[in-house]
Chain A
Amino acid sequence: MKLAYWMYAGPAHIGTLRIASSFNNVHAIMHAPLGDDYFNVMRSMLERDRHFTPVTASIVDRHVLARGSQEKVINNIIKKDKEEKPDLVVLTPTCTSSILQEDLQNFVQRASIETTSDVILADVNHYRVNELQASDRTLAQIVAFYINKINNKQKSDLKKTVKPSVNIIGMLSLGFHHQHDLVDLKRMFNDLDIEINQVIPDNASIQDLYNLPKAWFNCIPYREAGLSTAQLLADKFNMPYVDIAPMGLSNIKTFVCRIQSILAMLGCHRNYEKYVELQTKYMSQAAWFSRSIDCQNLTDKTAIVFGDATHAAAMTKILVREMGVHVLWSGTYCINDRQWFTSEVENLCSKVLITDDHNIVGDMIANSEPNAIFGTQMERHIGKRLNIPCGVISSPVHIQNFPLSYKPFLGYEGTNQIADLIYNSFTLGMEDHLLDLFGGHDTIDAVTNTLSSDNLVTWSPEALQELTKIPGFVRGKVKRNTEKFAIAQGYHVISLEVMYEAKENVKT
C-alpha cells in the first residue's frame, strides 16, 4: 500500500479510453462498477465536447460478483453494436475487472460472432502500466489489429504516395494543447511540401488505418503516445519515423533535418536550410525576442522544470539554450522513460529528478527557490503556496489549459507562444527595478505564507511592516532567509535591526 494524495498519470483504462474516443465511430465499453465512467465527465467538461462521449459501462455489481458477468458483457456489446453501429468496440478492463479475472477475451470472441462491428479487448495491465503507457499500447494494438487484416493482395496495392507524405501519430483527446499543435504541424508539413497521409487517432476512421503504409514516414510528436505504433510500422513496413517533438527553435531544426535526411534516404532530395532560416528569423519571434534588450534581465534568472518527458525535456532545452535561463533542475514523472529523459537534459542542468511523488517535487522546489516554475497544475499550486510564478507546460491539467484561442506548443507559432509564457512568468524589466526602488506597490498587511510555518521566531510589528514593503515575488524568500538567520543566531524576535543584520549577512 502507498499513501497517495495526488497522481501525475491516471489509471490505465483512461489511456485506453482516450485512444478509443479519439477515433471516429469507435465505442469503448468498460467492464467497471458504477461511477467509473468519470472519463465521460472529463471529456465533456474539459474539451467541452458537443457529442456524447462514446464510452459506456457494462456495470459490475453485486450480482456480477456472485455469478460472474455471464451474458451481461456480451449483451452490452451487442446492444451497443445495434444502437450506434460503431466500426470497432473496444472492451476496456478496469482495475476492478482485472482482479475478477473473468475471461474477457472469451466474451469478445463470442460477441463478435453477432456484431457487425469488430470487437477487441484492450490489452493493458492495471497494476503495471499507467494512463500514458496504456494509451501507447492501445493505439499500437488497434493499428496492429487492422494492419494484420491487410491480406497479401492488398499489400501489393499499397504503394507509397507519389509526393512525400507523412502520418502524424499520437494526437489524442484530452491531450495537452494537442488540437492546437496539430494545426501548426499541418502548417509546417505544408510548408515543407509534404502531404499529410493520415492523422491518428484524432478523428480518424478505422478504414483510414489500412492506408497508413502509404506514407513515406511517420511523425511522433509526443513520446508518450505513438512510439509503439511507429515501431510496429517500422518493423512491418520498414517505415522510418521522426520521434522529435518540434518544440522550440533548436528542436524544430533537428526535426526538419531528420525529415530531410529521411526523404534523401528514400530518394527525394530536398534542402530545407533556407526554410528554417527564414522561419526562425521572421515567422518565429522567439529568436529575436531572446536577443532583445528586455530579455537581458532573464540572465541569471533561475527556473525549474517538471512535466511529462516530451514537454519537460523540450522546455528545459528552450530555457537553457534559447533564453539563457538557469535551470536548477529538470524532472519528469514518466519513470518508464527515465533513460531517454536523462540523456536529453543532463547536460543542461545540474540535477535530474525522476519521480511521481508530488511531495518530493514540492520539497525540491521549496529548497531550490527558483524565480519561476514550469510544470503541471500541481507545480502551479506549489508555486502559489511559495509565491513563485508558474507556467503550465504539461498534463495533468484542468479546464484553464484547454483554451479557446490558438495556443500551440509545437512548431514556429509554438515558439512564440512559449516565449510569451516564459516572459510573463518572470516579473521583469523596468517593473522589477521600480518595485525594488519604491519598495513594492502592495502595502496590504497580508504577509507571504511559507511552507516552514514553525513559530520559533516572531516578528515585531515594525519588522512585519517592513516586510510588506518588499516586492511580493521575493518577499517569501526574504522572510525565510531572515527567519533562518534569526534562528541560527538565537534571536526569538525579529526586530528591524535583526532584519537589517540578516540582510547584511545572508547571501541570496
Chain B
Amino acid sequence: MTLAITNSSIFECETGNYHTFCPISCVSWLYQKIEDSFFLVIGTKTCGYFLQNAMGVMIFAEPRYAMAELEEGDISAQLNDYEELKRLCLQIKKDRKPGVIFWIGTCTTEIIKMDLEGIGPQLEADIQIPIIVARANGLDYAFTQGEDTVLAAMAHRCPNTIQCSKQSKYNTKRLIIFGSLPETVVKQLNHELQQQNIHVTGWLPCSRYSELPVIQSGDYVIGVNPFLSRTATTLMRRRKAKLISAPFPIGPDGTKAWIYKICNVFNITPKGLEQREKTIWNNLEQYLQLIQGKSVFFMGDNLLEISLARFLIRCGMIVYEIGIPYMDKRYQSAEIQLLTDTCKKMKVNMPKIVEKPDNYNQLDRIRDLQPDLVITGMAHANPLEARGINTKWSVEFTFAQIHGFTNAQDILELITKPLRRNTSIHNGDNIYIKS
C-alpha cells in the first residue's frame, strides 16, 4: 500500500454541485439482471418522473418495477406505513408473483424517517415473500452507488452453509465475484478464470434470487466494479469474507491485473496471460491510432472514471482531469496504484482527481483546456457540442459491456465514436456558439 499516493496532492474536492443520475436508476438494470425480482421504489412523483424518463422505452415493456407513490397522508403520518406497504405488496404478489421484492428507500423516506428496515422483516413474515431494503437515495449517493446499496443489502441474504457439499475439483478456496453484469459478460469472465484453473463459486447478484451464492467465513470475494465499496465492506465485516483488492477488469490491462491478482491469492502461476493481453492490444491497433495523443476530460458521474482513465492513458491518451462523485481510496487502492504505474510507464503526469466536482468550475476549465473529448452527462453534452467540444455520454459506459478482454474493443468503440463522426462530417464553424 503506497501511502505516498493517498496523501499526495492529486486529490481535490469541490462543492458537489454536479449533475448525475439519481441512484434509484439502478432498478433499471437490476430488475433485468435478477429475473424473479420486483423493485418497489418508495418515493414521490419526482422519483417516478425520473425513472419514467430515464428508462425510456423500457417503461412500456411491463417492467418489474413500480413506484409506491407517497401521498400527503403518508407524509403527515395519517396513514399507517405498514398497512399501506402491505396493501401494495400483496397486490404485487398477486399480479406478478415475484421471488423477492426490493424496497428502494428514497430521499423522502429518509426525511420522514420511515422505518423500512423495521417494517420489512415483519411484512416478509406476513406475506411470505423475501423483502430486501436498500436505501438508494440522492441525499447520500450518486448514480451507480445505488447498485452498491442493493448488493450490500443482498449480501446479508446469501446463505452461509452449503446444503449439498459439491466440492470443487479445481481448488479448495472459494471465490465469489460481486457486481451486476450482463449474463454474457459473466460467462466471459468465468471462462477467463477457468483458463487459469480457477473455478468461480458464485456471483452476487445472480440471475435468480433463489440461487444466491453461499458465502462462508474465509471465502474470497472480489469486485468487478469500482463503485461497490459498501458491498465489499459488508462482505468483509458481516460475512467475514476476504476481499481481494485488485484493479477492475476494465480494459485489457485492468483485466490482466485483475486475473493476475486472483491467481496470486490462489497460488497459481498464470498461464498465457501476457500473451492474451498482447493479442487484445494488437486487435485494438486501429482504434489506438485514432486516439493517441488526444486529450480527454472526465466530468465525473458514475464512479467508473478512474478505471476508464487508467485504460485510456495506457491507450496513449492524455487525461486532464478525472472528476468522480465519490472516491473510496481503500477499495480503489489497487486501481489507483495501477493508474500511477500506468502514468509512469506512459511518461505522462498523474491527472488531477476531483471528488464531488463543481460542474460550473469544470466548464470553465474545459473552456481553457479545450480537450479533444469530454466524457459527461447528457445535460452538458449538446451545449458542449454546440461550442465545438466533442463529448461522449458517460451513462453509456454504465450500460455497455466494458468488462474483460473481450469487451475492450467496445470501450474504444464508444470513445472513438465522436472522433470518427468528426472525420466523416464537415460542418462550417458557424454552427458553433462562440463563447
Which of A2, A51, A384 gathers the greatest number of chain B CB atoms within 10 Å? A2
Give bound CA distance, A53 to B53, whole Å. 17
Q: Which residue of A lies closest to B363 (CB)?
A: A52
CA distance A381 to B52 in the complex (A): 14
The reply to whether B67 and A5 contact each other, CB–CB distance below 8 Å, is yes
Cβ contacts under 8 Å, A5 to chain B? 59, 63, 65-67
Q: Which one, A3, A6, A59, contacts B68 given CB within 8 A?
A: A3
A96 at the interface (CB under 8 A from B): yes
State how many angstroms separate the Cβ of B390 from the closest Cβ of chain A. 15
Q: A1 touches which one: B45, B71, B140 (CB < 8 A)?
A: B71
Decide yes or no whether B79 CB sits under 8 A from chain A: yes
Structural contact, A99 and B433, CB atoms closer than 8 A: no
Which of A34-42, A159-167, A428-436 binds B? A34-42
Is A273 an interface position by the 8 A CB rule? Answer: no
Separation in Å of the A349 CB from the closest CB of chain B? 26
Q: Does chain A have a CB within 8 A of B377?
A: yes
Chain B residues closer than 8 Å to A14, beta-carbon distance: 49
Asked whether any CB of chain A lies closer than 8 Å to the CB of B111, the reply is yes
Q: Give the distance to chain A from B70, nearest Cβ to Cβ, in Å.
A: 6
Among candidates B45, B65, B71, B377, residue contacting A11 with C-beta atoms closer than 8 Å: B45
Tell yes or no: B21 within 8 A of A by CB: yes
A311 at the interface (CB under 8 A from B): no
> Could you tell me if B21 and A56 are in contact, using CB atoms closer than 8 angstroms?
no
Judge if B23 is at the interface, Cβ distance under 8 Å. Answer: yes
CB distance from A71 to the nearest CB of B (A): 13
A100 to B139, CA, bound (A): 13
Q: Of B17, B46, B70, B382, which one neighbours A36 at CB under 8 angstroms?
A: B46
Contact of B46 with A13 in the complex, beta carbons under 8 Å: yes
Question: Please, how many residues of chain B have a CB less than 8 angstroms from a CB on the other chain?
Answer: 63
- Asked if residues A44 and B380 are in contact (CB atoms below 8 Å), the reply is yes
Q: How far is the CA of A128 from the CA of B76 in the complex (A)?
A: 14
B138 on the A face (CB < 8 A) = yes
Chain B: interface secondary structure?
Answer: helix
Q: Is A126 an interface residue (CB 8 A)?
A: yes
Q: Is A83 an interface residue (CB 8 A)?
A: yes
A45 within 8 A of B: yes
Known: A45-B382, A49-B382. A3 touches B67 (CB 8 A): yes
Is B368 at the interface (CB under 8 A from chain A)? Answer: no
Determine if B108 and A96 form an interchain contact, defined as CB atoms under 8 angstroms apart. Answer: yes
Is residue B72 within 8 Å, beta carbon to beta carbon, of the partner chain? yes
B399 at the interface (CB under 8 A from A): no
Q: What is the minimal beta-carbon distance from B51 to any residue of chain A, in angstroms?
A: 9
Q: Is the CB of B382 within 8 A of A48?
A: yes
Is B88 located at the chain interface by the 8 A CB criterion? Answer: yes
B290 at the interface (CB under 8 A from A): no
Q: Does A403 contact B (CB under 8 A)?
A: no
Contact residues, B329-384 vs A (CB, 8 A): 360, 363, 377-383
Tell me whether A53 and B379 are in contact in the complex, defined as CB-CB below 8 angstroms, given that A1-B70, A11-B49 are known contacts: yes
Mask, B97-118, CB within 8 Å of A = 1, is 0000000000110111000000
Number of interface residues of A (CB under 8 A): 51
With A35-B22, A61-B139: A4-B66 Cβ-Cβ less than 8 Å: yes
Tell whether, in the assembled complex, residue B74 and residue A62 are in contact, meaning their CB atoms are under 8 Å apart: no
B224 to chain A, nearest CB (A): 24
Asked whether any CB of chain B lies closer than 8 Å to the CB of A286, the reply is no
Collect the chain B residues with CB atoms within 8 Å of residue A10's CB: 45, 49
Chain A residues with CB under 8 Å of B360's CB are 56, 83
Q: Which of B49, B92, B141 has the most CB atoms of chain A within a 10 A radius of its CB?
A: B49
With both beta carbons as reference points, the residue of chain A lying nearest to B92 in the complex is identified as A3
Q: Give the complex CA separation of A49 and B20 in angstroms.
A: 19
Residue A33 is within 8 A (CB to CB) of chain B in the complex:
yes
Question: Which of chain A's residues have a CB closer than 8 A to the CB of B138?
Answer: 32-36, 96
Specify which of A6, A49, A62, A96 lies most central, judged by the most chain B CB atoms within 10 Å of its CB: A96
Which residues of chain B are within 8 angstroms of A13 by Cβ–Cβ distance? 46
Q: Write the nearest CB–CB distance from B430 to chain A, whole angstroms.
A: 13
Q: What sequence of 0s and 1s flags, for each residue 391-414 of chain A, a beta carbon within 8 Å of any chain B beta carbon?
A: 000000010000000000000000
Q: How far is it, in angstroms, between the C-alpha of A48 and the C-alpha of B60 when the chains are bound? A: 24
Chain B: CB-nearest residue to A127: B72
A57 pairs with B17, CB closer than 8 A: yes
Question: Do A62 and B44 have beta carbons less than 8 Å apart?
Answer: no
Determine if B13 is an interface residue (Cβ-Cβ < 8 Å): no
Q: Is A95 an interface residue when CB atoms closer than 8 A count as contact?
A: yes
- Kindly list chain A residues whose C-beta atoms are within 8 Å of the C-beta of B382: 44-45, 48-50
- C-alpha gap A1/B81 in the complex (Å): 9
Q: Is A35 within 8 A of B16, CB to CB?
A: no
Which partner residue on chain A sits nearest B50 by CB separation? A38
Specify which chain A residues have a CB less than 8 angstroms from the CB of B70 in the assembled complex: 1
Question: Which residues between 106 and 139 of chain B lie within 8 Å of chain A, taking CB atoms?
Answer: 107-108, 110-112, 137-139
Taking the nearest CB of chain A, how far is it from the CB of B62, in angstroms?
Answer: 8
Write the nearest CB–CB distance from B139 to chain A, whole angstroms.
5
Contact residues of A between 46 and 68, Cβ < 8 Å to B: 48-53, 56-57, 59-62, 65
Chain A CB within 8 A of B176 CB: no
CB-CB under 8 A from A3, the residues of chain B are: 66-69, 88, 91-92
Asked if residues B50 and A62 are in contact (CB atoms below 8 Å), the reply is no
Q: Mark B36-67, 1 if CB is under 8 A from A, else 0.
A: 00000010111011101110100110010111
Ordered by A's residue number, 11 sampled pairs between the chains whose C-beta atoms are within 8 Å are: A7-B48, A7-B52, A10-B45, A33-B22, A35-B50, A35-B143, A48-B382, A61-B16, A65-B110, A127-B75, A398-B56
| A11-B44, A35-B142, A37-B379 known, 12 other contacts, Cβ within 8 Å | A3-B91, A5-B63, A10-B45, A11-B45, A32-B138, A33-B22, A36-B138, A45-B382, A52-B380, A53-B379, A59-B16, A95-B45
